[in-house]
Amino acid sequence: MSAALFAQPTSLEPLAVELTGITKRFPGVVANRDISLQVRKGTIHAIVGENGAGKSTLMKILYGVQAPDEGTIAINGAPVHLKSPTEAIRAGIGMVFQHFMLADNFTVLENVVLGAEKLYGIGDAARAQIRKISDDYGLRVEPDDLVADLGVGDRQRIEILKVLYRGAKILILDEPTAVLVPQEVTELFSNLRDLKAEGLTVIFISHKLDEVLSVADDITVIRRGTTVAAVDPKKVTARQLAELMVGSELPSPQTEESTVTDEVRLELRGVSLAGHGQAKVLDNIDLVIHAGEILGIAGVEGNGQAELVETVIGMRRPDAGQVLLEGSEITGAGVREIRQAGVGYIPEDRHRHGLLLEAPLWENMILGHQTEAPNVKGPLIDAKAAKADTEQVVTKFDVRTPSILVTAGSLSGGNQQKLIVGREMSHKPRVLIAAHPTRGVDVGAQAAIWDLIKAARREGMAVLLISADLEELVGLSDTIVVILRGKLSGQFDPDVVTREQLGAAMTGADQEDE
């Protein structure tokens, strides 16, 4: 729809956003260096870059959370100094965060007016305004719905509506597709195109390149804190874009020939876990993983993946069913016993479950293996051996750190994750549970972690892989199982399955069709 607009020279109209020479230093690091960005009015402009490339700092500058040390910001041709988000909103800039900021027990109306009561009050005027915005942009938001009853896609549209309600003409969306299934992504993109058609400007941050290519009018690439290229999505391939992002060639997860054996490593028989209400969180789960096999679990988040992992590792006890490790029962055993028996664990949330952020790296290497060599000698911690082991893992798994004495919290996400993966791998587990192993890590670390998992599979490890990244699941797994509302609802061969098939199974659309 915008092809005609796109082709026209827009030099007469001022740019919606223009950043020139933006530099932001933090103690010891330059987060942004000489950034220049030109966003044309009424377009969808994508900003792509690895995690840690400086995208979020740039967005914080644009949204007034942080002030740049150098450089200028111009909105609609006029230079501005944004000192706070309030000023950014006044200048017409709104931000939709990756993590929704909605109160579950409030209605849509209440959530939207919260903090903006002065605009249209909190009653019928506000309700009418919400309906109007919803209709204008095809957001399908019902002001009196309770947020707790709504799905992820709905919540995201409410967030967008919140920003529009406050009068934003320029919307920044931070990784908006990270939480969505493919169908919802399609819908979001159609919403974004509607916004654009109404003359709004959308700045879209992502590292999912095929999405960026399908929706963006212009793309700016950030690498190592600076803008390295502004490209036209019609003239560039995903591969070229990715190479601009990482500055070198990048691999993709491709399984080699099958290494699956018939030796059963992990088996779940009829595992159930009761929830708070009537519905079970896990409902009669049966699954088998063999040595040399990667079993991928696909699903929209919150359908029991986390509980499944926590049941296998022993953090939760199933209410029914059995968990067997190499034929012997570990149902209801403690985490420590299960880990000692040879289950490695890469947790979903590395900050909550994987690391002691304020402890040095070598102590973090002990975590989870407090009873195993080389960390202990009898009841005593063998600090010397643990440190030597940490040095090895840091080298072997390419954890970028100046020393093993720095705290885990001072490393970047990718390096924290490599440390965890290295820690778990170095104890040669029989079964590895990998929950979202590459979430929030940069492309380089992602490729490294994929390689490690593949290498482990070749050596005969059995891997339970949980991921929201379909590319990762398809690329790594030997078998993909879909989990929906606590039940395993389908089994797929990653070589032939399509994203749409997986997406349908993940949302239950395939069952409704039958």
Judged by the rule CB under 8 A, the positions of this chain that interact with other proteins are 26-29, 224, 247-248, 313-315, 334-340, 345, 347, 352-359, 363, 366-371, 376, 379-381, 383, 400-402, 405-407, 409-411
The contacts of residue 8 (CB under 8 Å, 6+ apart) are none
Of the two residues 267 and 348, which places its CB atom closer to other proteins in the complex? 348
Distance CA 323, CA 313 (A): 10
The three-class DSSP label of residue 283 is strand
Q: How does strand 376-377 pair with strand 93-96?
A: unpaired
- Residue 152, CA atoms < 13 Å, CB-side half-sphere: 19
Distance CA 418, CA 397 (A): 6
* Least separation in angstroms between CB 289 and other proteins: 20
Of the two residues 81 and 317, which places its CB atom closer to other proteins in the complex? 317
Of the two residues 236 and 335, which places its CB atom closer to other proteins in the complex? 335
* Least separation in angstroms between CB 29 and other proteins: 4
Of the two residues 309 and 506, which places its CB atom closer to other proteins in the complex? 309
Of the two residues 33 and 208, which places its CB atom closer to other proteins in the complex? 33
Buried b (16+ CB within 10 A) or exposed e, 175-206: bbbbbbbbbbbbbbbebbbebbeeebbbbbbb
Of the two residues 5 and 341, which places its CB atom closer to other proteins in the complex? 341
* Least separation in angstroms between CB 378 and other proteins: 8
Of the two residues 132 and 428, which places its CB atom closer to other proteins in the complex? 428
Phi, psi of 369, deg, nearest 5: -135, 40
Distance CA 329, CA 341 (A): 11
Of the two residues 198 and 337, which places its CB atom closer to other proteins in the complex? 337
For residue 396, the 8-state DSSP code is: H
Of the two residues 355 and 445, which places its CB atom closer to other proteins in the complex? 355
Task: Show the CA angle centred on residue 212, arms to residues 207 and 218, nearest 5°.
Answer: 115
10's tokens = 């827009």
* Least separation in angstroms between CB 34 and other proteins: 15
* Least separation in angstroms between CB 30 and other proteins: 8
Torsion of CA 422, 428, 432, 438, to 10 degrees: 20
* Least separation in angstroms between CB 410 and other proteins: 4
* Least separation in angstroms between CB 323 and other proteins: 16
* Least separation in angstroms between CB 353 and other proteins: 4
109's tokens = 């109306």
For residue 107, the 8-state DSSP code is: B
* Least separation in angstroms between CB 207 and other proteins: 20
Sign of CA dihedral 447, 449, 453, 458: positive
With contact defined as beta carbons under 8 Å apart, do 35 and 227 qualify?
yes
* Nearest CA among 342, 346, 370 for reference residue 419: 346
Torsion of CA 96, 100, 101, 103, to 10 degrees: 140
For residue 407, the 8-state DSSP code is: B
How far, rounded to the nearest angstrom, does the alpha carbon of residue 301 sit from its chain's CA centroid?
11
* Least separation in angstroms between CB 407 and other proteins: 6
Of the two residues 13 and 349, which places its CB atom closer to other proteins in the complex? 349
* Least separation in angstroms between CB 401 and other proteins: 7
Distance CA 472, CA 436 (A): 9
- Inter-CA distances, 4 with 8, 195, 329, 480, Å: 7, 17, 65, 43
Of the two residues 164 and 443, which places its CB atom closer to other proteins in the complex? 443
